[in-house]
Amino acid sequence: MDPFPRHDNDFYLKRQARRESNARSYPRRFPLALKSASGCLVTDVEGRTYLDCLAGAGTLALGHNHPEVIASLQDVLASGLPLHTLDLVTPIKDKFVSDIFETLPSGLREQAKIQFCSPSGTDAVEAAIKLAKTATGRTDVIAFRGAYHGMSQGSLSLMGSLGPKAAIGQLVPGTHFFPYPYAYRCPFGRGGDETATLAADYFEKALRDPEGGINLPAAVILEAVQGEGGVIPAPAEWLRKIRTVTSELGIPLILDEVQSGVGRTGTFYAFQKAGIVPDVVVLSKAIGGGLPMSVMIYREGLDVWKPGAHAGTFRGNQLAMAAGSKTLEIIKRDGLVERAAIAGRRLRANLERIQSHTPYIGEVRGEGLMLGVEVIDPTRKGDSFGHPPHGGDIAKAIQSSAFREGLILETGGRYGSVLRLLPPLTISDAQIDQASNILSDAFLRLGRNAA
């Protein structure tokens, strides 16, 4: 008997709508039921194949069902090793910790401690904030506009986007939001390199000002490339200034590398482009090789909390540790960090060619294989700073058009106006060109329909 009865997409989608939470999101944009997947491709129950440039929101560094990762999972299942171990050590866990420590920059690697958290990245963020508050005895936290750090209540307090917070009301108090160096829509109305300079100076002066109104915080948390916020890379000079100020004032600096880490941006960690060393690094998504895993790595000087101060039932996921170690091995062996940089340049060049032929793209940006296309509406008037109108409805139309032609990609940023591409690091040149051609055709159809 077939364990997976053959039905069409509509059958499964209707059942899902009846039985699952109204909070579900992806099926509304990608109305399909998945049957199989391999590499950069997924196939639905009706036999149609799609190029997946969402890849589990950046989770699948090696794509779907990499044969060596599958083999490593099969080895664990056949070994008799307990799959649920809380925080008890196993040979697989010991190897995973060694493997991940090898990826750390000098200055952190030699004094690193690791905390295994519950499976989601938001829990590692919660752990990082708890640790910083415990270690410093302070309560306030600084985050940045456009930030995304997860969906639990503490993490929501650090989120720039107001939408997910609107219905919740009072969250964790004491979060202060500072301007992020988003040059295309400069919060100071200037743009270019001046955005980073002004943002860094504003940050420093606010924290050093005895009349600035902000208590010395327990931590500063940021993304070196904002993902959900619209694929906005922070300039290296801004990151260096933030690191200098936090170091001088004794403020732990937390880098959220949940989406940007594990080679995606063309360096193993996105913060490495600036040559900085943070106090805390938060990791999830790709670090588990496609399986649920989140960890926090931090300087041993912060390790002042008591046994049991942070826990999580599923922090001992042996399958995820095995998959994570194998993923790290393959990334290193196959030069996939360097490949992400090279492939990213190809994809970016393709996107910039599309931009040169359409008035609907304001900017192409990002690092490595974490790229964004900011969609604008040229038919409307800009804001008081001269920034072009957001094109959220247009981006949604492009996303839908691309999906119909076999490409899955996400949107994000202000008003959902940024098309986001997060393909596996293993994507081929031919697949990059295929995705680009689908997007190009979608913008051409949009132009013809508007004419």
Q: How far apart are CA 345 and CA 371, in angstroms?
A: 10
Count other Cβ atoms within 10 Å, centred on residue 349.
Answer: 12
Q: How far apart are CA 79 and CA 162, in angstroms?
A: 47
User: Is the pLDDT at 1 greater than 60, yes or no?
Assistant: no
For the segment 207-259, what is each residue's pLDDT rounded down to a tens digit? 999 999 999 999 999 999 999 999 999 999 999 999 999 999 999 999 999 99
Non-local (6+) Cβ contacts of 416 within 8 A are 392, 395, 396
Dihedrals phi, psi of 254, to nearest 5 degrees: -105, 125
- Give, in degrees to the nearest 5, the angle at Cα 325 between 334 and 80: 135
* Band of pLDDT at residue 451, cut at 50, 70 and 90: low
* Band of pLDDT at residue 2, cut at 50, 70 and 90: low
All CATH 3.40.640.10 domain ranges in the chain, comma separated: 69-333
Segment 162-191 shows an average pLDDT of 92
User: Is the pLDDT at 72 greater than 80, yes or no?
Assistant: yes
Greatest alpha-carbon span in the chain: 73
User: In the prediction, which pLDDT does 331 show?
Assistant: 98
3-state per-residue secondary structure call for 305-338: CCCCCCCCCCCCEHHHHHHHHHHHHHHHHCCHHH
The encoded tokens of residue 284 equal 């999830």
Mode of pairing for the β-strands spanning 280-283 and 253-256: parallel
Q: How far apart are CA 448 and CA 91, in angstroms?
A: 60
Are the CB atoms for 340 and 263 separated by under 8 Å? yes
User: In the prediction, which pLDDT does 3 show?
Assistant: 64
Segment 163-180 shows an average pLDDT of 90
Are the CB atoms for 199 and 232 separated by under 8 Å? no
Reported in sequence order, the residue ranges of 117-264 that DSSP labels E, i.e. its strands, are 141-144, 175-178, 219-222, 225-226, 232-233, 253-256
CATH code of the domain made up of 9-65+335-450: 3.90.1150.10
For the segment 100-134, what is each residue's pLDDT rounded down to a tens digit? 999 999 999 999 999 999 999 999 999 999 999 99
Q: How far apart are CA 19 and CA 6, in angstroms?
A: 19
Mode of pairing for the β-strands spanning 225-226 and 232-233: antiparallel
The one-character DSSP state at 376 is B
User: Is the pLDDT at 70 greater than 80, yes or no?
Assistant: yes
All CATH 3.90.1150.10 domain ranges in the chain, comma separated: 9-65+335-450
The encoded tokens of residue 42 equal 């997924």
What CA–CA distances, in Å, run from 186 to 81, 199, 232, 378? Answer: 53, 9, 12, 19
Name the percent of the chain in helix, strand, coil, to the closest 5.
40, 15, 40
The encoded tokens of residue 10 equal 């509509």
This prediction's pTM: 0.96
- State the CATH architecture for 69-333: 3-Layer(aba) Sandwich (3.40)
For the segment 187-199, what is each residue's pLDDT rounded down to a tens digit? 999 999 999 999 9
The chain-wide mean pLDDT, for the chain, equals 95
